[in-house]
Structure 1
Amino acid sequence: MILKPSKIDLTIEQIHVKSFVHFLVELQNLLEFIGEELTALNETVSVAESVTSGFLQFSFSQVKDAGRFFKGGMTAYTLDENISLFHISDDEASFCNGVSPNIAEVMALEVASRYESDWSIAVTGYTVPVKESQNKLYAFFSISRHGKIILSEKLDLHSRTLPLKAQLYYSEFILGCFKLELDKIKFDQQAV
Structure 2
Amino acid sequence: MIDHVNYIHDHCLANGLTVAVAESVTAGQLQLNFSRATNASQFFQGGITAYNTGQKVKHLQVEPIHALECNAVSQQVAIQMALGVCALFNSTVGIAATGYATPAPELGIYTLYAYYAITCKGLVLAAGKIVPIAKDPEEVMQEYAQKIIDACCRHFKERENMEAAEQIN
Q: CA RMSD in A?
A: 1.5
| 3-state SS, counterpart of residue 88 of structure 1 | coil
1:145-174 Cα shifts (integer Å, max 9, x gaps):
11111211001125x701001000000000
1:88: how far off?
2.3
Is 1:62 matched with 2:36? yes
Instruction: Report the Cα offset of residue 92 of structure 1.
Output: 1.6
Q: Percent identity?
A: 30
Larger Rg over CA atoms: 1
- Displacement of 1:188 after TM fit? 2.6
Alignment of structure 1 residues 1-192 onto 2, 5 Å: 27-131=1-105, 132-157=107-132, 161-191=135-165, 192=167
CA contact (8 A) 2:59 2:88 kept: no
Runs of 5+ unmatched residues, structure 2: none
- The higher-RCO structure (CA 8 Å, 6+ apart) is 2
- Is contact 1:126–1:133 with CA below 8 Å preserved after alignment? no
Q: Counterparts of 2:147 and 2:163 in 1: how far apart (Å)?
A: 25
* TM-score calculated relative to the size of structure 2: 0.91
Q: Structure 1 residue 133: deviation in Å?
A: 4.9
- Tell me the TM-score normalised to structure 1 length: 0.81
Instruction: Determine if contact 1:35/1:63 at 8 Å carries over to the other structure.
Output: yes
DSSP-derived class of the 2:135 partner: coil
Length, aligned pairs only:
165
List structure 1 runs of 4+ shifted beyond 3 angstroms. none
Equivalent AA in structure 2 for residue 171 of structure 1: A
